[in-house]
Amino acid sequence: MKGIFMTPRKTWLMRGLRDGLPIGIGYFAVAFALGIKATAAGLNAWQSTLLSLLNVTSAGEAAGIALLGVGTTYVELAFTQLVINIRYLLMSCSLSQKLAPETGLLHRLLVGYGVTDEIFGISCAVEGHLSPYYSYGAILVAVPGWTLGTLLGAVMGSLLPARATSALGVALYAMFLAIILPPARKSRVIATLVAVSMAASAALTVLCQVLSLTWFTEGFRIVALTVTIALAAAILCPVKEKDEEVQDHG
């Protein structure tokens, strides 16, 4: 083997473990709140744990659990997950170009399983080509953190007092705020989109209740708003390429 695989696999693995450790710790705390939400929606501890092990997606699981709690249809659930998680397809395509050319299909599939926002971020920060063993190291600490956090949350959620579980459940929403607030503070466009999204979601929910649009359920509202607002933002506020920025300032 040549290229990236000349570096000892153990070195890449240990590097991935080191960089993935903070991610695993963060996942554990957030997944604990997710486990509480899952049991509240009617899932047992085994189902909640399996859900996190197979999916590893905070926003997707949170939305799916919320929809399951209100008795959604499989079609609605599938469309919602497609819209929410389609970003992982783009991340995987990007990482496939960063992996060493000699990386086999099995390695690529295994790396694809563990593509999350955070693992994608640390993987992109690696200079040069990426070894799959780096991803394995990050996955080995991140995924257990996410899965065990969900398990403990599901188990402890039924044992803790209602006030405690309600307080811990807020941690999941705190994570989403931590994701959107930093970029919103740096960009007026993002801040405006966040405000518009929240207002549109509230208005559409009230409208559906007033007009008794029972067919336009929560899942379809999420899909409709996500696609509509994202498309409008792409048309009205397109992201300029570096070459275009240079020409504008030239």
CA dist 34 and 49 (Å) reads 10
**141 and 109 fall within a common domain:** yes
Task: Supply the pTM of this predicted model.
Answer: 0.70
pLDDT confidence of 106, banded at 50, 70, 90? very high
Whole-number percent of the chain with pLDDT over 70? 83
Instruction: Spell out the SS3 assignment of 59-89.
Output: HHHHHHHHHHHCCCCHHHHHHHHHHHHCHHH
Between the alpha carbon of residue 242 and those of residues 82, 123, 126, 189, 221, the distances in Å are 30, 22, 21, 18, 35
Q: Please say if the pLDDT value at position 242 is more than 80.
A: no
**178 and 216 fall within a common domain:** no
DSSP annotation of 160:
S
The mean per-residue pLDDT over the stretch 183-199 comes to 86
Task: Point out the domain boundary residue: 136, 165, 185.
Answer: 185
pLDDT digits (tens, 9 = 90+) for 127-152: 888 999 999 999 999 999 999 999 99
**168 and 245 fall within a common domain:** no
Give the type of residue at 238.
Answer: P
**241 and 152 fall within a common domain:** no
Q: Six-digit token pair at 103?
A: 């990386």
